[in-house]
Amino acid sequence: MKARTLLVLVLLANLSFAFAQDESNPPATGKKRGQKQVIGRQQKQRPSDTPVLLGNVPVVKGEDDLTIFIDSYKGVNEFESNYNVVPGKKGQCTTFGGITMFNNAAWSPKPCVTCLCSNGNIACDEIKCLPLSCPIRVKPAGECCLICSDIESVHDSPEISGDSSEPNDPSVLESAPPKSQAEIEQLLQQEEEELQEEEERLRKRDQERKRRRKEKKKLQEEKQKQLFEERRREEEEIRSRMEEEEEKQREEEERRKEEDKIRSKLEEEEREKRQKQKESRQEEERKRDAERRILEREQKERERIMEEEEEAEEKEVEQVEDDFLRGDVFKMPNSLPIPLPPPHPAAPEGTPSLPPGCVISDITLSCSNAKLTSIPPLVDPQLKNLNLEGNSITTIPAAAFNGIPNLERIDLGKNKITSAGIDPQAFTNLKRLTRLYMDANMLAQIPQALPPTLEELKINENVLQIIDEDNFQDLNNLVTLELEGNILSEGTVNPSAFKPLTRLTYLRLGRNHFRTVPQGLPELLEELYLENNLIEEISEAAFNNSRKLNIISLRHNKLDESRLAPQAWINHENLESIDLSHNQLFHVPSFLPKSLLHLVLVGNPIERIPGFVFAHMEPGIEYLYLSFNKLSNDGIDPVSFFGAFHSLIELFLDHNELTAVPLGINKMKSLRFLRLNDNKIRNFEEHSICDAFNTDDSKIVALRLENNYIDTRRISRTAFSCVRSYSSVVLKPQKIK
């Protein structure tokens, strides 16, 4: 009885102590409290001059009596924000993870911790749980603190605390029946098992998290590897493209060098040919001079002998008839004196002497490269040729040539003369001027008031931009006009500009900006040079007004066979030479002039010679140059040269892609020069050059087959039997197999 009374008293004491503790500290419910209430309560409960702890986070008082972190909250596992806020605004806060929060924004970096942004400062509060004295404690879902539970609700609670060191709560003891030691041990064992299960669950979760982290790392590594591989492939592609471009540039450079080499070779051959012709002419002249001197010596010797015989006869007659003749006898002298040319008139007094570097010879005065800055004052009516080339002359005054009015030729090339520096009356008094050269100056317009006696005018390498209708007014005696290397185009040349040039036969308009053939060409024009322009089309009416054309040069333009009108020149009866080299032709053009003798197609991408393309020509083409193209044997038909078998004299097919000698070569009866070098010829048929059915000798004097793939040991002995001299055949060197 006493024991029971003592037990009741102990329980009542414990219950009173629990009620007193609940009134002073109400139990936490685990729910989150408003941030402003937490801050306000904390400010009331603690002194303002000492640092406090909000949960487990150290904080101090900041400005405006707000609580802030000392070392931020680096231990808090923050959640990443799903929105972006521009930092740097007044009152905003930046979290440890780099997230920017607006002023008065509240967030929870981890469970049971609440933070607030206040005027740029961060204040955090962690919910603190009160100690419980009950033996059984559980943590409901969504709560932060443990609560006491009776035995019936133990099995349904999500969390059970195993801490039973604190004394029992009297209120709980009153509401629940007393537990036996076995039940308490059973509950403690259940709690221990649940803790083990919880630990196992946490361990599995950590393992799952590690596995996912490894998989994520593996995926990232694979992604990085894939990115690296893609980057490597892109770099390889870029490198390959760069190598291809460099290879193309090298090929282009090699092709250009090869073209320059071939051009220089052709020019060298042409120079050699002209030199040989010149030497042959000089040799013939020397022979004629020697023969003439011999004849003159023989004639003089005969005359001397005849004079001696006549003198002897006269003496005899005088001696015989001395007794019969009386009076004077008139005798003509044996030789008349040679009249001397009239002396060069002396310059009048006061005339300035020639400048340094000037040389006068008979009727020619040369001051080339004499460093003159103006035309020197000259007075010599007999002077006909004036050379002022290569000086620094900038102006031509009105009275520049008043003292030399009989000039026939003036060379003012390579000076610095401008159109504004030429007086309109500068050439007015030159009534006999026939040639005027003003190359390499700075003229933007044709000089005004040129003398009508002018026959030759050269204004190459200037800056001419426009030709008006009246620029060539009264120049009806002009025969040669050269305007190369300027800025002229079909839009800046008036179609009526050439109308006064009724005698013009030679016109050069190369190295300008023409896209079409200029209109209004003179009627009597015989030679037209339009090389190095941008011409893309030849219309049917391009040469209709010039029916006397004999030579047309259109090299280095942008022509292809589809832009050549069929009726452009086919009916021109005098057109014998056309140069279409270095254009964009893929086929030998059709509808060529009937009278054509000389055709140059060097440096095009020509792949084919159509059949019967030369069949309509009369008397037939004689010179055909197809070097540096893309001709193969498939592009040459057996009838490609039909109509030229009897007329061709020179045929150049070098630097192409031929693998054999084209068909029809052995039928060309007049062929003298044949070039097949620098191709891909491997098989050399026995009758490629010499026709087995023709017993006559060939007229070939030069046959070039070097730089191919011909095995010279397998060539038949009769392959060149029709060639008169084997020294005319060039077979070596051949390319390495």
Cα 108 from chain centre: 63
Q: CA-CA distance, 673 to 728, in Å (whole number)?
A: 10
Assign 3-state DSSP to the chain and report helix, strand, coil percentages, each to 5.
25, 15, 60
Predicted pLDDT of residue 323: 39
Calculate the alpha carbon distances from 191 to 35, 140, 145, 150, 551 in Å.
35, 15, 17, 14, 116
Predicted pLDDT of residue 270: 77
Domain positions in the chain are 2-174, 180-270
Q: CA-CA distance, 686 to 688, in Å (whole number)?
A: 6
Supply φ then ψ for residue 599, to 5 degrees.
-130, 125
276 burial (CB, 10 Å; 0-12 / 13-18 / 19+) is exposed
Contact between residue 51 and residue 43 where contact means Cβ atoms under 8 Å apart: no
What rounded mean pLDDT belongs to the chain?
79
Q: CA-CA distance, 541 to 77, in Å (whole number)?
A: 89
- Would the pLDDT of 318 be above 80? no
Predicted pLDDT of residue 150: 58
Q: CA-CA distance, 601 to 617, in Å (whole number)?
A: 17
Read off the pLDDT of each residue in 32-51 and give the average, rounded to a whole number.
38
Region for 618 from its dihedrals, namely left if φ exceeds 0, alpha if ψ lies in -120 to 50, beta otherwise: beta
Q: Is 161 helix (H, G, I), strand (E, B) or coil?
A: strand
Predicted pLDDT of residue 70: 37
Predicted pLDDT of residue 178: 55
Read off the pLDDT of each residue in 604-632 and give the average, rounded to a whole number.
95
- 119, two tokens: 């005027």
pLDDT interval class at 246 (50, 70, 90)? confident
pLDDT tens, residue by residue, 524-551: 999 999 999 999 999 999 998 899 999 9
- Would the pLDDT of 572 be above 80? yes
Greatest pairwise CA separation for the chain in angstroms: 224
Predicted pLDDT of residue 582: 97
Contact between residue 513 and residue 538 where contact means Cβ atoms under 8 Å apart: no
Q: CA-CA distance, 497 to 520, in Å (whole number)?
A: 8
Calculate the alpha carbon distances from 512 to 304, 446, 518, 595 in Å.
67, 16, 11, 29
In this structure, of 10-19, 137-146, 649-658, the range with the lowest mean pLDDT score is 10-19
Q: CA-CA distance, 237 to 253, in Å (whole number)?
A: 24
pLDDT interval class at 255 (50, 70, 90)? confident
Cα 710 from chain centre: 39
| CA-only gyration radius of the chain, Å | 57
Residue 656's H or E segment, with its range, is: none
- The better pLDDT of the pair 60, 409 is held by 409
pLDDT tens, residue by residue, 445-473: 999 989 999 999 999 999 999 999 999 99
- The better pLDDT of the pair 398, 14 is held by 398
Predicted pLDDT of residue 659: 95
pLDDT interval class at 61 (50, 70, 90)? very low
Predicted pLDDT of residue 548: 93
Calculate the alpha carbon distances from 549 to 476, 520, 538, 591, 734 in Å.
19, 14, 15, 17, 43
In this structure, of 113-127, 270-284, 712-726, the range with the lowest mean pLDDT score is 270-284
DSSP state, residue 232: H
- 185, two tokens: 């041990």
Which residues on adjacent β-strands are paired with residue 113? Answer: 110, 126
Contact between residue 120 and residue 90 where contact means Cβ atoms under 8 Å apart: yes
Instruction: Count other Cβ atoms within 10 Å, centred on residue 519.
Output: 17
- Would the pLDDT of 55 be above 60? no
109 burial (CB, 10 Å; 0-12 / 13-18 / 19+) is buried
